[in-house]
Amino acid sequence: MATPDTRVQIVSKALDRLNALCDRGFALAVHIRLIRPTLLYQTYSAAWTEHYSMKGYMLTDPVVGWGLQQTGRVNWADLGDQDPAGVFRDAVQFGLTNGWTYSTGPASSRTISGCAKSGADFTDAERDEICGLVDAIHQATDGFEHFPAQVQQALRDLGHLG
């Protein structure tokens, strides 16, 4: 079992790699309990984040709904018929194309990622790597509520990815 300090290092390195793979950004809601993530990491543009919040999209985002109900992988395009609010349509206007989602963990402590990249779609190898990174973060942060306060804060501080 990793020590808490090692867990911070694992999460930090995984987030750095996710950032490199997802050039248009990502959102990672870690250990969602009662519809609230224990940790939230995101690198989408400030303009998209503000637009998403102002529209209240978290309540209608097909990625969130799918991820809370399913585990596995799904392309955003495959959820288009579940998007009456137009989250994906708006996302494209903010440069979020070639998006897909990976969801893992039990329903009582789910982790959901949304990943976007410009240019060509994610390759199978990139998707596999992202799943491994998300799994590593999910596992490294399991038991977060029992970590010392300074470790909890260090993990929260990683959420300010800039």
| pLDDT tens column, 56-84 | 998 999 999 999 999 999 999 999 999 99
pLDDT of residue 3: 59
pLDDT of residue 71: 97
Residue 159 lies in a domain: no
Q: DSSP letters of 48-101?
A: HHHHHHHTTGGGT-HHHHHHHH--EEEEGGGGGGG-TT-HHHHHHHTT--S-EE
Residue 158 lies in a domain: no
Residue 161 lies in a domain: no
Residue 75 lies in a domain: yes
Structural domain harbouring 82: 4-153
CATH of the domain at 124: 3.30.450.80
Our count of domains for the chain comes to 1
pTM value?
0.93
Whole-angstrom Cα distance, residue 85 to residue 83? 5
Residue 52 lies in a domain: yes
pLDDT of residue 35: 82
SS3 37: strand
Residue 162 lies in a domain: no
Extract the residue ranges of the chain whose pLDDT is less than 50: 162
